[in-house]
Chain A
Amino acid sequence: MECQECHKRKATLHFKHIINGQEAKISLCEMCAKKKGYITYPEEGFSLNDLLSGLFQTEGLNLGSTGTAKANQPKHPQEVRCSSCGRTFTEFKKAGKFGCADCYASFGSKVEPILRRVHAGNTKHTGKIPKRAGKYIQQKQLISSHKEKLKKLIEEEEFEKAAVLRDKIRELEKANNHNKEAGGNT
């Protein structure tokens, strides 16, 4: 069976997870499983229970993946530390809290599996965007949805409509670059 993520390597790990009450199965190679946050290594230092005991007081949680796996990886003795607030990854795990908005970037890929577990496998925000500072992002999302539409129009050979939409996209992109320079929050 091939890995359902990269479709290249052989799938050696199989995971069950429950999203919104529905059970889904996924088979992955070890590399993709790690990348996608389905497995964590002991030297990254936390068990699910340890982590959650710090994060939650409630019971009956619906946690994403039920599979964990061990692997032989070299140990990383260096401690990752957020340069903005000084919090180490170990401190973060223990308290279950970040110390500043930069922690998220400082701890990088180590945070991803945590978010995945806490949010039923989700990793991307799809909700509200700040009204004032988020204009750039809002426009960007509008542009990308227009681009999807453009693709469809071309497939359907609606070239006249496609040309109109293409010009509109160009205009929006130009205007939005101003937004970005004007200090939009990216």
Chain B
Amino acid sequence: MTLESFINEAISPWMLEDGPDKDIVMSSRVRLARNFANKLYPTSGNKEALQEVLQFVKHSYIDQDNSGQQPLAFLPMKNLNMIEKLVLVEKHLISPHLIKHSDYAAVLLSENEQTSIMVNEEDHLRIQVYYPGLQLDKALEEAYYLDDWLEEKADYAFNETKGYLTSCPTNIGTGMRASIMMHLPALVLTKQINRLIPAINQLGLVVRGIYGEGSEARGNIFQISNQITLGKSEEDIVEDLESIVHQLVEHERMARKYIYEQSEIGLEDRVFRSYGTLKNSRIIDSKEASICISNLRLGIDLGIIENISENILNELMVLTQPGFLQHYANKALRSDERDIRRASIIRERLNLKK
């Protein structure tokens, strides 16, 4: 496999499209949790119910007319090998939970990978729609469209007062989790993020790192999503989240300007050192790589570095994950082998034009 075709595999086509505030907001996602009426949840572990749901989805929605919509491919988890599954997780198209419970699970995937519907995750259906930049309203609209299409063929578990019934009480009501992925290097550098996160939490939103473990936000990439799903409409949730994200974008822009004005040479030094590390290292672990990639992207955004695509952050964050490295190597790799492979794939990528 050539590196170009491999990158194409790592980057979902929708990621390359333009979107509002794309220099800071990497993506918008809406996820709806839905269950069929009168079927035990996947969490019950009941194999018959799991099998029935899987068969029902396959027969009712695949190769059926879904006019005005992209065709969906049906991928049963048990037909995929471990590395293939890991790759889907690293592209955020399926959850790690789906891998752990692979036997009766599947994913319906649109060609540009903007839409995925997980089958037999914690709930029977998890509809997921991505948009580039800050476009939660569009993602919600698309998710509704899919939701209505799915509901044409089967009754959902729905209760007038509690809304959509889900396996976890944290999703009951709208069943919706709206989230935004953001690159906030300047807020981290100026340490403003430490006082912003508790303030955002106070508003009923959750902020967490998307790569790395615990509260660490590798590559300065944060995910912000709604906590509450009951008692607020989907539109209100999306609107509230968007307004917070707008404010964060403004804060990040101001912080970038501040850093640049405070010490242009200091910032250039930071960016070029990272660029040098990425271009020249022979062994690099994922933590160091993510720091350098974040700095490089900041340098591109601020015009310090030219002739490199701003998609580098998206690309390299995905390409340098363990699943992708092993997919590219076409074999399982130990962690020390991955660090070597990671360094080499980054060097190759930076040698490509654009």
Do A18 and B202 form a contact, CB below 8 Å, given A126-B233, A130-B158, A185-B37?
yes
Shortest CB-to-CB span from B230 to chain A, Å, is 4
User: What are the 6 closest A-B residue pairs judged by CB atoms, nearest first?
Assistant: A122-B231, A125-B163, A101-B157, A99-B44, A119-B230, A60-B201
A142 neighbours in B (Cβ, 8 Å): none
> Is there contact, CB below 8 Å, between A84 and B160?
no
Give the dominant DSSP class at A's interface. Answer: loop
Do A114 and B215 form a contact, CB below 8 Å, given A62-B201, A87-B44, A127-B176?
no
Q: Please measure, in the bound complex, the distance between the C-alpha atom of A114 and the C-alpha atom of B296, giving whole angstroms.
A: 45
B228 sits at the interface (CB 8 A): yes
Within 215-252 of B, Cβ neighbours of A (below 8 Å) are at 215, 227-234
Chain A to chain B contacts (Cβ below 8 Å), 13 pairs: A60-B201, A62-B201, A97-B43, A98-B165, A98-B166, A100-B40, A101-B35, A122-B173, A122-B231, A125-B159, A130-B156, A132-B148, A185-B158
> Is there contact, CB below 8 Å, between B43 and A119?
no
> Is there contact, CB below 8 Å, between B168 and A127?
no
A59 sits at the interface (CB 8 A): yes
Q: Please measure, in the bound complex, the distance between the C-alpha atom of A111 and the C-alpha atom of B167, giving whole angstroms.
A: 13
B170 sits at the interface (CB 8 A): yes
Shortest CB-to-CB span from B21 to chain A, Å, is 24
Name the residue among A21, A96, A128 with the largest chain B CB count within 10 angstroms: A128
The 0/1 profile, CB within 8 Å of A marked 1, for residues 155-181 of chain B is 111111111111111101110100000
A159 sits at the interface (CB 8 A): no
Shortest CB-to-CB span from B203 to chain A, Å, is 5
The one of B122, B162, B206 in contact with A97, judged by C-beta atoms closer than 8 angstroms, is: B122
> Is there contact, CB below 8 Å, between A124 and B230?
yes
> Is there contact, CB below 8 Å, between A21 and B202?
yes
> Is there contact, CB below 8 Å, between A85 and B44?
yes
> Is there contact, CB below 8 Å, between B156 and A133?
yes
Beyond the given A60-B198, A132-B151, please list 8 additional residue pairs across the A-B interface where CB-CB is below 8 A: A21-B203, A60-B197, A98-B166, A100-B39, A126-B233, A130-B158, A133-B151, A134-B158
Name the residue among A58, A99, A100 with the largest chain B CB count within 10 angstroms: A100
B174 neighbours in A (Cβ, 8 Å): 125, 127-128
B17 sits at the interface (CB 8 A): no
Of chain A, the residue at the smallest CB distance from B240 is: A20
A143 sits at the interface (CB 8 A): no
> Is there contact, CB below 8 Å, between A114 and B202?
no
A13 sits at the interface (CB 8 A): no
Q: Please measure, in the bound complex, the distance between the C-alpha atom of A104 and the C-alpha atom of B202, giving whole angstroms.
A: 28
